[in-house]
């Protein structure tokens, strides 16, 4: 089986549609840009003030004035725009971002997300997460199915401080694709190397299992 982060990133990339304006969170979400289908053109937005962000910069083409929200040097595509953070967050809060892909510490049965803090631990800040999950049309969470100790991350009820309440639409892990609906969490796909039974066993939240579950 491929590395879990690669599996997750590849599947998440196939959620994006041609012409979408997309914000990628820091960390694993940044990998999604590496696996876009060749016939799909995405406009990547960075909340520090870039519309039309390109791939990560190489040592040969680094520009110290062009970095993403995670302070990594990036490139820009022809026609890219730069603006201040106030304008950037105006776009986000105004609903002009089609999708945001971000990581998670916990997601629960109601589609609520905890992603920005573990009480008692030092963190650099929540960044634009709260604005993005409130303003983006499609909130896609990508995460390993369990934590480093094997504990469930998809829970009946989140126990950490919430980043967003009932805003998650999709959860993508190395084992499954899960849709958050008003009726609950629906298991839509399982990894070809996994099974419905394994996904259920590693998920604390109740899953709705449709008659047909896809394979990815």
Residue whose tokens read 């469930």: 152
State how far the Cα of 157 lies from the Cα of 185, in Å rounded to an integer.
Answer: 12
Say if residues 73 and 62 touch (Cβ distance below 8 Å).
yes
**Active-site residue (options: 47, 109, 174, 189):** 47
State how far the Cα of 193 lies from the Cα of 121, in Å rounded to an integer.
Answer: 35
Which segments of the chain are extended strands (E)? 21-24, 43-46, 50-56, 74-82, 99-102, 106-108, 113-114, 138-142, 154-155, 170-172, 176-181, 184-190, 207-208, 214-215
| Residue 107: both structure tokens together | 């997601």
Question: What is the phi/psi pair of residue 185, to 5°?
Answer: -85, 125
Coil vs helix vs strand at 85: helix
Whether 2 is catalytic is no
Q: In what order do the strands lie in the sheet with 113-114?
A: 113-114, 106-108, 154-155
Question: Which residues form the catalytic set?
Answer: 47
């Amino acid at each position: 089986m491929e590395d879990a982060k690669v599996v997750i990133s590849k599947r998440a990339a196939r959620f994006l549609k041609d012409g979408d304006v997309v914000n990628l969170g820091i960390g694993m979400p940044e990998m999604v840009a590496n696996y876009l289908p060749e016939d799909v053109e995405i406009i990547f937005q960075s909340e520090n003030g870039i519309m039309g962000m390109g791939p990560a910069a190489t040592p040969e083409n680094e520009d110290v004035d062009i970095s993403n929200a995670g302070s990594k040097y990036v490139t820009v595509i022809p026609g890219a725009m730069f603006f201040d953070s106030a304008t950037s967050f105006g776009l986000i809060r105004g609903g002009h971002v089609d999708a945001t892909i971000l990581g998670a510490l916990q997601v629960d049965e109601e589609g609520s997300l905890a992603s920005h803090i573990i009480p008692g631990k030092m963190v650099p800040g929540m960044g634009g997460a709260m604005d993005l999950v409130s303003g983006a049309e499609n909130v896609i969470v990508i995460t390993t199915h369990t934590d480093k100790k094997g504990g469930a991350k998809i829970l009946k009820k989140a126990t950490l401080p919430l980043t967003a309440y009932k805003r998650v639409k999709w959860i993508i892990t190395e084992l499954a694709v899960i849709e958050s609906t008003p009726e609950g969490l629906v298991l839509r796909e399982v990894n070809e190397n996994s099974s419905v039974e394994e996904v259920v066993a590693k998920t604390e939240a109740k899953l709705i299992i449709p008659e047909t579950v896809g394979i990815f």
